[in-house]
Each structure stands twice: as structure tokens, then as C-alpha cells.
Structure 1
């Protein structure tokens, strides 16, 4: 076929194929073919980010609403005298946002109210060492014990170079507690067997959080065979239930 016999369309195709810019044309076509889907992906990503932003706004509103309602319920529990429930509501606020202004201070105030709203007074006779059961205490629930008074520590005991025994605080001296000091110990059960907690010094005042549910015993750390005289006054307050002597 002669050139003159070609149609104008065929002549145009031939010119393009022979053109030095043909490779550039192919490159642009290929690039545009890839670029268009990429633009779609970017558009979809932007849309998803917009959705996440809206969800974050909704989540913040829900959290703020929960905080306001929980604080209101906590106040109503406190007004009704149920300080423990009030504290639980405030702690639920801190579980989702730790820096809410005033919440920690309110919890401290509730702790003080719980301790001061339940109390009992009794005496300990130095001649007997121990009182009867001072009260039933609960694991993780704080109590406050205060004491006043003096007594005569009288003893005429012979001992060897090993000193006085410290194996059983209920009958002998308690290790780690000064001789003559007021002390406490929690008696509980473990797998159906009696368990004695670690003796702790009370002195004039102590705030104590039991590690187990049990019976609180309060007494003076005195050696067996002593002849001490006098009484000390004790007040226990907080999360406990008084038991009969």
C-alpha cells in the first residue's frame, strides 16, 4: 500500500508511533491509570478519618455524661449516709479518667466519714494482757485505733541468756513490738484452719488495713508471769463490727 492510499486515521496512528514522545504518552497513560485508583484510596482514608473523629467526639460526650451522673449519684449516696457506695461511684469515675478535679479529695473525705461514723470504746486490764475480741474486721477495709492511759508494768521473771520466748503472741511476747506496748493481731481462718496474722503496734494511734477477714484482738505486749496493774482506754473506729466480750 502506498502512503497516498492510507486513510487520514491510519496516517495519524503512524505519526504517533514514530513520534519521539510516544514513550512519554504511554508513561502518562500508565501513570494516570495508577493515580486514579490511588486518589480513590486517599479519599476513602480521609473519609474514615472523619468517621473516627466523629466517634471520638461521641465517646468524649458519653464519658463526660457518665462522670456527671456518677458524681451526682455519689453525692446522693453520701447524703443518704451510705459512704461506701458513694466511694465506689467516685472510684468508677477515676477508672475512666484519673485527673477529674476534686474526686480524690472527696474520696479522702468519705474515708474519714466512714472511719468516724462507726466507733466503740472499751478498756484493757493490764493484769489480763488481752481484751476479749475487739471486733470483726474485713479484708482491705481500714480501721483506726486510739489509746490513752498508763499502767504499772510489774514483773519478777528470771530468764536465760536467750531471753524471753516470742513464739506465740497470745501467750508470750510478740516479736517486733516493744515490750509493754499496746498491740493488735487479726485471727482468721485459712483452708478451715486457724490463722494468726502478724502482730502490729498500736501505741497511741494507728490506722490499720487487715489482710484477711477475721477477729481483731487488742492487748498489751507483756511477758507471761507478769503482775502488772492498771487499765488503758481504747477507741476503735472504721469498718468493723463490735463483738461481745
Structure 2
């Protein structure tokens, strides 16, 4: 009788162990299955990403060939947002930036006697403009002074701070709450690449005192993100 009970106890023990193994193995099998599913999804995601990058690069190439450099660059920037280290993309964006800055160029003269040109064109917030200038002029100013030096009032007070006297400079006139707002003057000199902080009208002129009698003409070329009145 004791042996019979012992046999049953052993059988119950084996049954208990078997049930425990089954119960433990189900989560392990489920976890293994989930890991397999995640790996498969990762493979699918990588294939989709690679396909998207290839197609985006092809669209960027077609935009560039069509002369729409801005849209071409936008497509390449989308690629960078997905994967930063795609070979050649950074160099292509640099080339497109140069094409953008070299295209849409316009030449005009500035009459030094007038100080400021007519509006150079419309600029957009965050969109870079390149300005190049060349030439010389006669700086003539009939300003009376004393042994104390040039006055800081009257004519000289109209000079822009931080800009060399006589230098070519620019400002952007925008709108704020329906009223004109003038930006801080920025130095142009022979060349400047300027990114406006607001949409507005670009004005180009010289940092000269009021009442000056300077003469001459300067040649200016603007390019990049700017819309001239004749465009």
C-alpha cells in the first residue's frame, strides 16, 4: 500500500512538473514569437526606408535638372531627416545652395548722390540673399567743424552705428501691426550674404552724412531669394 501511494506520489510529481514546464514554456514561446515578429517588422521598415531614400534622391535629381533647386534641396533635407549619413547628400545640398545663391541675379547702379537706391526687391524671412558691389566714388561733404573734431549732432547723427562711414549698407523695411518697421542696418561692402529676419523690402545705400555732395555710381548685383519689381 505504501508502494502504491509512493507510485502515485511520483506520478503526481511528474504531472506537476509537466504542467509547470508547459505553463512556463508558453510565455517563452510567445516571447520568442514576438521577437521574431519584431525582427521581421524591422526588416520591412529598413526596406521601406531604403526605398523611400532612393525615390527621394531620384526626385531631387529631377528637380535639379528642371532648374528648381529649392525643391531639390528640400527633398534632400527630407532624406537627411530620416538618415543623416547618406553618402553624397550633404555635398549635394552645398552645391544646390550655391546654385540658389548664384541664380536669379539682377544688376543695377546706385547713384551716390541719392544715398539710397530705389527698392532693391522683396526678401523673405529666413531666405538668404547675396549682395555684391564694385566701384569707387568721390566722397564730398561740406561740414563745418572746430578744433574739437567732427560734430556728433546735425549731419553726423544720421550715420549708422557700427557701419564704416561711406560704406555700402542695407536695411529691410517690413510691416509690424500695419506700420513700417526698419531693421538694423547691415554692412555690405564688396560682398555680403544676408538672411532677413522678416519679410520686407530690401533697401541698399551708403552710410553718408546729411548734406553730403558725393558723386559717382556703384554697380550692385543681388541674387538668391529676392524678387525684383520687373520679375
Is 1:151 aligned to 2:137, yes or no? yes
How does the TM-score come out when normalised to structure 2? 0.88
Cα offsets for 1:89-147 (capped at 9, x unmatched): 11111111111111111111111112222111111122111001001111111111001
Cα offsets for 1:190-226 (capped at 9, x unmatched): 1211111121100100111111111000000111122
- CA distance in 1 between partners of 2:22 and 2:209 (Å): 92
Matched residue, 2:106: 120
Is 1:88 aligned to 2:74, yes or no? yes
When Rg is computed on C-alpha atoms for both structures, the one with the higher figure is 1
The equivalent position to 2:121 in structure 1, one of 135, 159, 162, is 135
Is 1:164 aligned to 2:152, yes or no? yes
- CA distance in 2 between partners of 1:177 and 1:165 (Å): 17
Matched residue, 2:215: 229
Matched residue, 1:45: 31
Q: CA RMSD in A?
A: 2.7
Change (3 A) 1:34 1:175: farther
Change (3 A) 1:46 1:15: closer
Segments of 5+ residues of structure 1 without an aligned counterpart are: 1-9
Is 1:68 aligned to 2:54, yes or no? yes
The equivalent position to 1:216 in structure 2, one of 202, 211, 216, is 202
SS in structure 2 opposite 1:228?
coil
Segments of 5+ residues of structure 2 without an aligned counterpart are: none
**Aligned residue runs from structure 1 range 167-178, under 5 A:** 172-178=158-164
Residues paired across the two proteins, number: 227
Matched residue, 1:6: none
Cα offsets for 1:25-65 (capped at 9, x unmatched): 98776555444322211111111011000100000100110
